[in-house]
Structure 1
């Protein structure tokens, strides 16, 4: 229908166009030959009509062809759909047959199960009857046994449980003792092997270096030049370095006295440079001390970097590296602390490798374990606790931090790493030749500590432990009250400060307890 309308519209449009063209031509030719114009117009109109008819016929023919093609396609699709529907119907019929068969099988099974259930109910009733008979026989036998044995059921149970419990306890105790002894023997053997291997693999120097505190002079005249006019030179040196210079009868030598090892080293280097230069006056002294201090800081940083490189402790904070370098000028009982720290780090690494632990972390903890000694002259507290706080401040791992704080048992060890650092520290300090302190002087210092504490009223016993770093005092509770223990600890600490010379600090702990004893007669 739409195609016919389109053809009709196209025809009308062609006719209108032809008429318009004819009218225009006719109007144009009116001025000339009107007859020719009329003929030409009619000819044009007739041609337009013929052309429109031809176009209409072609359009109708094309539309019919397309309609026929569409009809054929629709017939094919309808036929295919009918075939598909028939196939689906056949599949559904097969499924329905299968479902019917399964339903029949289920009905048969349900009938069989119902029959089996009835049989089981009958068997269960029979079993219940037999059980009741058996319970009656058991109760009868139990009554006869109780009459023969002379004890009741509950009492027999208690005795049997006690007997079994006693036997199990004895067996468990024997097993525990045997296992514990085996573990102790095995642990002792393995521990000795690991320690022996660690010591054998570390080839350290037997006698560690010591910081020099005596400066040699070329002649006796140099003492006067060091003192200067009215003592101005020696005062300038002491003011610039913070170290006391002792000039006595020792030939061709002066003694540097200072508690800070860095300042003492600055004073030594500056004094040697002034002596070699020969120009000694206050302005020159300040200049040389400043220069030596800067050079020493560079050397400290290089020593720290070299130590971390040797151990493999990378990524360490620059302040910790500087503190490690400062340990080069710190000694403990004649043992250089930097060398001691490197030795502890290597021993920790060897033992950690044998135990299958993190070797790098063990070396890092060993290198940093005495880092608190770099500043223990400037900060109050145990060097282990100071080192722990410094390591935590500069971003070290928490297990490394705890191992540093626990290596002198200022806090209880919690991991194998803590025990490794303790063991390596003890190995490094206790091996022959590592430290110059004699046994007699060590024992005498402990005796002096205990003697000072025992001299106070109310003290019953005193014990110097942890190499003299901790003094434990037990007082008589009848003579000393709780409030007086604080004053007593303070007085003993003050007496130790006045009477003894010692490195680091000593913790004084006063212990008071009350015991109530009564005798039952």
Structure 2
């Protein structure tokens, strides 16, 4: 198409040139050229028209092909969708059929259930009628039985319950007796073995100190020198030590009296030094008392360290060691508390080894259990509470603090260690010769024992014997049976444990006897 146009343009240019240059060509030639140009132009135009028609036809053909392809694509998609819809319709139909089958099955089951309910209702009605008949029959039999026995149903039931209760109590008492005997035999045997072993393995001194000390004099002449001119020496000595000096007719002896054992020891050492030196005057007295105080303080510290060393207990605070050393000059019921603490510590360690618990911890608790007695005259409260607070203050473990607090029931024992310290403390204090009990306390304990025993119904008399270690209870044979006497012994022991505080253990003997007396005439 582009070539033909250029050819037409070329011919037209030639014709125009021939027209303008007519002098060189003839008119005939020019017309010929023009005609050729017209023919060529017409031909080119015809070719262009045909080519345009061809292009138009090709375009139309392409558009038709595109429309056909689009139609085929659409028809293909529609066929696929139709196929999917058909598949979906088949599945829906199948589900509908399944649902119809299930509905039919449920309807059938419902019919079966209704039939069964009708059968069960009939059976229930029959059972109810039968139960009514049985109740009437039982009622008639009960009335007949009541008429025959002469007792109502309530009275018969009560009689049966009483018989069963009595039988149950009898069986329970026998079972309690068997169990208690077995447990007592086993426990007593084991406890006696452990305690006997502990006592055998420990032998300690327990010579008691009193509230007075006696200082021997070389001669009675020394009494005058101790008194001094107008009594100035003895006043100076009493003021410096806080201890009373008793100078009486006792030959060659001076008595030092005071409740503070540390001060009494300072006074004893000071007086011995003054007697040995011979120079007795107020200035010298103050100097000697100060020096003796330092010696006693050092002795207290060394005693605490020696106790910890002997027991193999380490890491105790220095202030606690000083308090332990002060116990050397403290007595309880004439028993030296320092020796008592060492003894309790050794006993705790031995028993702990037998029981398989921490031996060092047991020794530590035993050594510190009476720590409060070192300062109980300076601080208000029981020595167990004071000792526990001191132990807590100086970094002792909660188990040790609890054992100290609980060894006199100021706190309920909740660990094996606390119970062990209680046992060792009672064992050390209760053995013969260890302590001297006051008469008033002893008598009161006997009275309390007899009062508790006679408070039970059926007791005719009671006797506290063996220095309060045993109570014998005589019961009336008409009011108390053999089985009830076993229960009574247990109840009396429990009440004694709840109301009294005592060392060791108390044996409760309940005695029931029946005497048949007749006279031959």
Q: Shorter chain as normaliser: what TM range?
A: 0.5 to 0.7
Instruction: Give the corresponding residue for 2:421.
Output: 421
Aligned to 2:431: 431
1:412 Cα deviation from its structure 2 partner: 4.6
Identify the residue that residue 132 of structure 1 maps to in structure 2: 121
CA drift of 1:128 comes to 4.1
SS at structure 1 position matched to 2:274: helix
In structure 2, the partner of 1:26 is: none
Q: Deviations over 1:201-242 (max 9, x none)?
A: 234447513337111122222222222233222222222211
Instruction: Show structure 2 runs of 5+ residues with no match.
Output: 1-90, 142-153, 448-466, 468-521
TM-aligned CA deviation for residue 149 of structure 1: 0.9
Separation in structure 1 between the aligned mates of residue 104 and residue 317 of structure 2, nearest angstrom: 85
Q: Is 1:198 paired with 2:195?
A: yes
Question: Please, which moves more after superposition, 110-119 or 238-247?
Answer: 110-119
Q: Residues 153-198 of structure 1, C-alpha deviation per residue, up to 9 Å, x if partnerless?
A: xxxxx99999999999789867765665455334433443324422
Aligned 8 A contact 2:329 2:336 in 1: yes
Counterpart residue number, 1:148? 137
Unaligned runs of 5+ in 1: 1-102, 153-157, 452-466, 468-521
Query: How far, CA to CA, are the matches of 1:266 and 1:307 in structure 2?
Result: 21
1:231 correspondence with 2:231:
yes
Partner-residue secondary structure (3-state), 1:150? helix
CA contact (8 A) 2:205 2:339 kept: no
Q: Is the 8 Å Cα contact of residues 373 and 387 (structure 2) preserved in structure 1?
A: yes
1:28-71 CA distances to partner (integer Å, 9 max, x unpaired)? xxxxxxxxxxxxxxxxxxxxxxxxxxxxxxxxxxxxxxxxxxxx
| Matching residue of 1:209 | 207
Contact 1:208/1:334, CA 8 A, preserved across alignment: no
Q: Distance in 1 between matches of 2:102 and 2:220?
A: 123
Q: Is the 8 A contact 1:261 1:330 kept in 2?
A: yes
Q: Report how far residue 443 of structure 1 moved.
A: 2.6
1:322 Cα deviation (Å)?
Answer: 1.1
The structural deviation recorded for 1:250 is: 1.3
Change (3 A) 1:162 1:399: farther
Once the two structures are superposed, residues 387-437 of structure 1 have per-residue CA deviations (whole angstroms, 9 ceiling, x without a partner) of 2333333333444334333333445545544443332222111112223x2
Cα 1:345–1:119, aligned 2, differ >3 Å: closer, same or farther? farther
Instruction: Report the CA distance between 1:307 and its aligned residue.
Output: 1.9
TM-score (norm 1): 0.55
Change in Cα spacing, 1:353 to 1:204, as seen in structure 2 (3 Å) is: closer
Alpha-carbon separation, structure 1, partners of 2:139 and 2:409: 63
- Structure 1 distance, partners of 2:209, 2:234, is 22
Alpha-carbon distance in structure 1 between the residues aligned to 2:246 and 2:114: 113
How high is the TM-score relative to the length of structure 2? 0.55
Query: Who is 1:331 aligned against?
Result: 331
Are 1:373 and 2:370 counterparts?
A: no
d(CA) in 2 for partners of 1:173, 1:112: 70
Q: How many residue pairs end up in the alignment?
A: 345
CA distance in 1, matches of 2:99, 2:331: 95
Higher mean alpha-carbon deviation, 227-236 vs 175-184, is at 175-184
Q: Residue 438 of structure 2 aligns to a residue in which SS?
A: helix
Residues 228, 190 of structure 1: alpha-carbon distance in 2 compared, 3 angstrom cutoff: farther
Q: Indicate the RMSD between aligned Cα atoms, in angstroms.
A: 4.5
Aligned to 1:245, what secondary structure does the other structure show?
A: strand
Spell out the pairing of 1:261-340 with structure 2 (5 A cutoff).
261-340=261-340
Q: Which moved more, 1:357-366 or 1:278-287?
A: 357-366
- On the 8 A contact 2:327/2:374 being kept in 1, the answer is yes
For residues 364 and 129 of structure 1, do their structure 2 counterparts lie closer, same or farther at Cα, with a shift above 3 Å needed? Answer: farther
> How far off its partner does 1:268 sit?
1.2
The verdict on how the C-alpha distance between 1:132 and 1:445 changes in structure 2, with shifts beyond 3 A counting, is closer
| Cα separation, 1, equivalents of 2:335 and 2:192 | 21
CA separation in 2, counterparts of 1:345 and 1:111? Answer: 91
Structure having the higher Rg? 2
Which residue matches 1:245?
Answer: 245
Paired residue for 1:99? Answer: none
- 1:473 maps to what in 2? none
**Alignment-derived partner of residue 188 in structure 1:** 184
- Local SS of the residue matching 1:346: helix
